[in-house]
Amino acid sequence: DNVGVSPAVPFTVVNATARYADATSPELALRAPAPAGARLRFAAHGLGVQVSFDGGSTWVGAWRQQQELDATDRFRSYWMPIPAGAQRVRFRAAATPGFASWFVRDVAVWASDGA
């Protein structure tokens, strides 16, 4: 309990209003608009995960984080840019073989509060 970070670097976290998204409910709202230069962070179980910030008009492949254990039958971590002002995120993916559907959880936007 004597841990400290120096110099401290302030940052903002904007959570989604719900904990998860799936094929039956693929869109999540954010509690506030994404700040400029922010990143979207989430975990997903599925193949070919894509994200839309404009209600599904355009899609972009989600950027998977490098991780030590990379197994298709487990959740994978994602970290990618999000447009400033975005307040809704829609997901789509294919189910991993042997599973009924895809699933996204713990969606949040992270942004630095300074340089």
Using an 8 Å Cβ cutoff, are 93 and 60 in contact? Answer: no
Q: Is 47 left (phi over 0), alpha (psi -120 to 50) or beta?
A: beta
Using an 8 Å Cβ cutoff, are 57 and 50 in contact? Answer: no
Using an 8 Å Cβ cutoff, are 87 and 52 in contact? Answer: no
Per-residue model confidence (pLDDT) at position 7: 85
Q: Which two tokens stand for residue 89?
A: 């995120």
Nearest to 18 by CA among 113, 114, 106, 101: 106
pTM as predicted? 0.88
pLDDT in tens, 53-109: 999 999 999 998 887 777 777 889 999 999 999 999 999 999 999 899 999 999 999
